[in-house]
Amino acid sequence: MKESILVQSNHATKRKAGVLMPVSSLPSPFGIGTLGKGAYAFVDWLADSGMKIWQVLPLLPTSYGDSPYQSCASDALNYYFIDFEALKEEGLLQADEYETIVWSDDERRVDYGRLFAYKTEVLQKAFGRFDKTDESWKSFLSAEKYLDFAVFMSLKKRFGYAPWTDWEEPYKTYDERVISAFIAENQREIEFWQFTQFIFLKQWNKLLSYAHAKGISVMGDMPIYVAYDSVETWKYRKDLFVLDEKGNPALKAGVPPDAFSEDGQLWGNPVYDWAKMKENGYAWWKERIRYAFTVFDILRIDHFRAFDKYYAIPEASETAKEGEWENGPGMDLFGDMLEYAIVAEDLGIIDDGVRNLLKNTGYPGMRVFVFAFDGNPKNEYLPSELVENCIAYTGTHDNEPLRSFIENMDKTERKEFECALEKQCLQAEVAYLTETIEDECESIVRLLMSSKADTVIVPMHDVLCLGEEARINAPSTVSERNWTFRFTEKDFKRRKSAWLKSMTEEYRR
């Protein structure tokens, strides 16, 4: 077990700050961020800036919609992030096999279509040169690491990457004998997909060690639900999920209508059969969490409130208006996992049940600045109301950047917001600068840094005071702008690094 960076200690040492930066958004010449030079340069930039945490989004393979929260496997790793230059250094690739490919027409945007078309072709060439007698590789195979993922991807390729519900029999229904025969007949293809995981882990572990040497811990992100088109629903439909006899979701996940969505959010993921899972002590979930801590130092679990109560929507519903709240596992799941450095994403509709679950686990929750200004002087997201055991954010991957949050206000809203913000700054004895929008964004970050919160995380787009163009995701939309924004090497300015460094020293982070 890695030592938690969130354990209680003296106030000076437990205060930390970090930056949210998706791996996909890192600079690289290959259409998407990779685990190569851009990642190492970012770690250096974080260290120079006095940051102690790099928060990433899920490292899972993406599929339709390109969201890392809708993956084909709950523990697989996104082979799009594998770095070609590192493979070249190992003698597994030649430069002309990847440098001649046009990965994107816009250095600011990921083109997932081209990655889908070309990335595995290049990786297949690397696999062809890979030494299959390597002892660590043989051990990887003998332990059947990522075998389920590899089989699933091999079958998806056979059936034109269609969802498993459209596969031909006998493959649509998981059967040990059928799958054993398939593995024997398709050994090379299956081992290729395992190779993508083997290489990813090799590159990731090297990067993680480098980050640790620089004093940086990495916070990962775990989606609570898995996609319907995933290896889990295909293989474990009777053990993990509430599905009907044909394997269709009897209930679907989502959240009810609120101030942000008139119809609520209908995610469509199958919900867990918590009663069934309880029979073996939630073994699948506990193993999933333990595995995550072999990859990350800290783990943010998305939609944590569902462990107390989850919103279940009837299969036939077209919106999330008709769902009901059902009981989750609560402390039955987490009672023997209290030593883990888990961060609970406790946003959305929060009640006393969720609050008690966080209190009993001791996990820090999230406090998001852009949700603080609703006129309630005791809003728990206000900087003045923050508690020590929380993670304070300017915004998350689902929020618009600070700059556009401010610029999109009408005159009345903006005046009210700026009056409330000035009051917060005066209370914290933080200078509130308003000459430019960048001044205002920097004042907000400084305000959070000065707060009681043990940890402050700032998305990179808010560090740079970028606008709507840099938004990571707009929830409940499918768009070429979601999950695609990328930074360039020119974005990592020394002035911003020095500014962050000065705040970590001033506010003992």
Give me the active site residues, please.
Answer: 302, 345, 398
Residue 226: how many CB atoms within 10 A of its CB? 26
Query: Phi and psi of 468, rounded to 5°?
Result: -55, -30
Spatial contact of 364 and 6, defined as CB atoms under 8 Å apart: yes
Cα separation, 222 vs 347, whole angstroms: 15
Spatial contact of 103 and 111, defined as CB atoms under 8 Å apart: yes
Helix (H) or strand (E) holding 327: strand 324-327
Helix (H/G/I), strand (E/B), else coil: 209: helix
One-letter amino acid for residue 465 of the chain? C
Spatial contact of 478 and 451, defined as CB atoms under 8 Å apart: no
CA atoms within 13 A on the CB side of 55: 24
Residue 4: how many CB atoms within 10 A of its CB? 15
One-letter amino acid for residue 59 of the chain? L
| Structure tokens given for 122 | 């290049």
Sheet holding 365-368, edge to edge: 342-344, 298-301, 217-222, 53-55, 16-20, 455-459, 390-393, 365-368
Helices (H), 159-309: 176-185, 187-213, 231-235, 237-240, 274-278, 283-295
* Cα-to-chain-centroid distance, residue 367: 17
- What's the distance, Cα to Cα, between the start and end of the chain in Å? 24
Residue 47, C-beta contacts closer than 8 angstroms, at least 6 positions apart:
214, 215, 216
Residue 411: how many CB atoms within 10 A of its CB? 7
> Of 350, 365, 310, which is closest to residue 333 (Cα–Cα)?
310
Spatial contact of 172 and 164, defined as CB atoms under 8 Å apart: yes
Spatial contact of 54 and 25, defined as CB atoms under 8 Å apart: no
Three-state SS for 166-189 is: HCCCCCCCCCHHHHHHHHHHCHHH
| Structure tokens given for 170 | 């006998």
| Structure tokens given for 321 | 């208006």
| Structure tokens given for 243 | 């599905």
